[in-house]
Chain A
């Protein structure tokens, strides 16, 4: 990791110096403006957001604005400062180097693409442009930037699909769908607010125009951080259950991963997906109230003991009911042991009345239980587990959820996340 950054700096700094020197020799008068923008772009990198593995940065607004305000070498200096900042602040975050490199590549590519496209038609910069309306150059600039990004994303998809031998259409779809709203937004703010304010009021106006955007990024960063903290907290608090029943080590964690992946491929809202993950972590919380001796017993349980075990979904609801924000997950936890044919517990609900989220947790829970060791049997292999699931589809599991799950199992990424190295044989 550290060497990565070092080698990056080594390559980058000569480019930075040479282009800076060249830019400066073009027009010494604007040296301070460039320096200020470069410093700004560098610092704004600390507000980067990482969203589903993608990076979106307010620094992007500065680089795009400088692209249309200054001659190309100047803009390149600002861009390089932004990339440099990205690598410096990357050290304080937990994003994977691959996705960061990808985002850098897309930023660089989008930038150069926009530069080429735009400059092919307009040799002039946007300095002093009339601000009264959507002027044609502004609109053209906007579409040039978007086209630049789209081209870069397509190239990236091609490369990554070749390198990782993935389906090109899938990668392209994923890449272009994460070619998201945030990018449009930041670029739009940049072109319609920052470019005009810079040409009208100079650097100070530029700063003021950036302020609301920065508040927004700051808020989002805080939010994502807290969400992560909460997730960590849940993960370690369910360690309480694992302290009772050592066989379930890592169980909640894996169930959460599987349930979330299934949920992403079913029509669930973003808010419900988040809740689904929490529910999956907490689904066995009720076990905390059970005497550990029962959970650890390798022999068959008595009728009395089964009764106690069967109460754990309701016990979980009892524990969690005081948490306001988690109210929607209570029925999911209560019904995660229902069966599709209406013979589950605690309420023996028919399939239609079991919440979809509960059905997802049921499958994730069962799959992980099958593929883990238990006191009374060793773990099943992936194929055996899948056969078992297929056998019980319709009686225990919801066919819709099983179908989605089987589609997921065919993806290599998914198995890697679960910690299986072998590839599924069809």
Chain B
């Protein structure tokens, strides 16, 4: 949040905080309904759940049982349980209480949302399950309604804050709605279930349900660590290849162009990632060549079809072929010296050459000319000449635009 707020935001903040405090104040009559110990234990679990998020790596979201615990407390102990999220939900974001108003605001926002949820639950026929147990089927609908009310209130309040920065309340609301809504709709029945389990089995039941979640968190973290290690290992290898051939930074340049071409051709981020691996590791096969031969090989233009180079490309792609992450880069590496008109080492023509190989071929060429110290005009000229002969005209055109743009950027920094 910014240091100085315009007056509109100040009023909004003040209104929400006042509303939240009012809702919390209204629940005081219900305090007598349960033991303070249960309240404290639920508050602790909710707080811990807020810190110990479970990352779901494939979907790039975090799973937390905090909202389930909050709802369960609401269904179990009565409306006053909305104090739990109001107190704990805001804490992790603002724990060094540097900005008390952030804490106040977050707490008030949660108090309002859960307050509405509690009101809906208890007005549509729900009962405090810890006090009077009734059949589960009778509370499913109130629980669903309460989840619905919560998600609408919570999403509106969040959208209200965000739209101060990004404008257009309804657009923000829609994008939040798409993710939040199904989430809460599932959370409400699960919370009801948690509440019932608690009435039946007490804290043992909660433990049996929550411990697998905690274990999953640990395992998901290990999973993420392994994935990071994997990409770091590949990167370490790329750096080594870079160093070995004495020209660090050149592969980076090729990647830079390949990325831009892939953007202007509309490739997906996954495809761009593979292009990245291919542009860094494309000469990994050269590592097996003795230094004396290597010098000779490197003194020729890098796109040459000499047997040494072609064999090295083949060897390099064979190394990568058995890796799940890198196998898609292997054909790009093997075939990136092919030419559009079929005069390359394997004689592939036009669309027969994989798109990635065509992109890297052109980008490598531009980088090579740049490295020789040719001017932009010369590079553009040779690109135009070779378009349709060595290079895919579509890619050559994209590259020409990119190189021209870079010139403009240099002129007007």
Q: Which residues of A contact B (CB under 8 A)?
A: 131-132, 188-189, 192-193, 196-197, 200-201, 205, 208-209, 211-213, 215-216, 218-220, 222-223, 226-227, 229-230, 232-237, 239-240, 243-244, 288-289, 291-293, 296, 319-320, 322-326
CB–CB A212/B290 < 8 A: no
A223 to B222, CA, bound (A): 7
**Which residues of A have CB within 8 Å of B235?**
322
CB–CB B237/A237 < 8 A: yes
Residue of A nearest to B237 (CB): A237
**Which residues of A have CB within 8 Å of B211?**
212
Residue of A nearest to B219 (CB): A219
Question: Which of B212, B228, B234, B292 is within 8 Å of A324, CB to CB?
Answer: B228
CB–CB A236/B322 < 8 A: yes
Question: Which of A188, A205, A213, A219 is within 8 Å of B223, CB to CB?
Answer: A219
Q: Which of B78-86, B199-207, B341-349, B364-372 contacts A (4 or more CB under 8 A)?
A: B199-207
- What are 12 A-to-B residue pairs whose CB atoms are below 8 Å? A200-B136, A201-B136, A205-B193, A215-B213, A226-B223, A226-B230, A233-B233, A240-B319, A243-B319, A293-B292, A319-B237, A322-B232
A239-B219 CB under 8 A given contacts A208-B193, A233-B325: no
Question: Which of A188, A223, A240 is within 8 Å of B219, CB to CB?
Answer: A223
Query: What 1/0 flags go to B226-246 for Cβ under 8 Å of A?
Result: 111110111111011001100
A289-B222 CB under 8 A given contacts A131-B201, A215-B216: no
**Which residues of B have CB within 8 Å of A223?**
219-220, 222-223, 226
Question: Which of A211, A243, A322 is within 8 Å of B285, CB to CB?
Answer: A243
Question: Which of B197, B226, B287, B324 is within 8 Å of A232, CB to CB?
Answer: B324
A229 to B211, CA, bound (A): 28
CB–CB A216/B323 < 8 A: no
**Which residues of B have CB within 8 Å of A239?**
318-319, 322
CB–CB B136/A244 < 8 A: no
Q: How far is the CB of A279 from chain B (nearest CB, A)?
A: 12
Question: Which of A212, A219, A292 is within 8 Å of B209, CB to CB?
Answer: A212
**Which residues of A have CB within 8 Å of B126?**
none
Query: What 1/0 flags go to B312-331 for Cβ under 8 Å of A?
Result: 00010011111111100000
Q: How far is the CB of A108 from chain B (nearest CB, A)?
A: 26
CB–CB A237/B136 < 8 A: no
A288-B287 CB under 8 A given contacts A236-B320, A322-B235, A324-B232: yes
Residue of B nearest to A237 (CB): B237
Secondary structure type dominating chain A contacts: helix
**Which residues of B have CB within 8 Å of A200?**
136, 196, 200
B208 at the interface (CB under 8 A from A): yes
**Which residues of B have CB within 8 Å of A237?**
233-234, 237, 319, 323
A208 to B281, CA, bound (A): 48
CB–CB A229/B319 < 8 A: no
Residue of A nearest to B284 (CB): A240
Residue of B nearest to A185 (CB): B212
**Which residues of A have CB within 8 Å of B136?**
200-201, 205
A219 to B215, CA, bound (A): 9
CB–CB A293/B324 < 8 A: no
**Which residues of A have CB within 8 Å of B234?**
233, 237
B189 at the interface (CB under 8 A from A): yes
**Which residues of A have CB within 8 Å of B215?**
216, 219
Q: How far is the CB of B409 from chain A (nearest CB, A)?
A: 31
CB–CB A319/B236 < 8 A: yes
**Which residues of B have CB within 8 Å of A218?**
216
**Which residues of B have CB within 8 Å of A193?**
197, 201, 205, 208-209
B291 at the interface (CB under 8 A from A): yes
CB–CB A132/B200 < 8 A: yes
B225 at the interface (CB under 8 A from A): yes
A297 to B215, CA, bound (A): 53
**Which residues of A have CB within 8 Å of B213?**
212, 215-216
**Which residues of B have CB within 8 Å of A291?**
290-291
Residue of B nearest to A225 (CB): B223
Residue of A nearest to B229 (CB): A325
Residue of B nearest to A238 (CB): B319
B210 at the interface (CB under 8 A from A): yes
CB–CB B232/A325 < 8 A: yes
CB–CB A227/B226 < 8 A: yes
CB–CB A229/B288 < 8 A: no
Query: What 1/0 flags go to B287-303 for Cβ under 8 Å of A?
Result: 11111100000000000
CB–CB A229/B325 < 8 A: yes
**Which residues of B have CB within 8 Å of A296?**
290
CB–CB A211/B190 < 8 A: yes
**Which residues of B have CB within 8 Å of A235?**
322
B58 at the interface (CB under 8 A from A): yes
B57 at the interface (CB under 8 A from A): yes
A211 to B216, CA, bound (A): 12
**Which residues of A have CB within 8 Å of B284?**
240
Q: How far is the CB of B221 from chain A (nearest CB, A)?
A: 9
A230-B226 CB under 8 A given contacts A192-B204, A215-B216: yes
CB–CB A326/B229 < 8 A: yes
Residue of B nearest to A197 (CB): B197
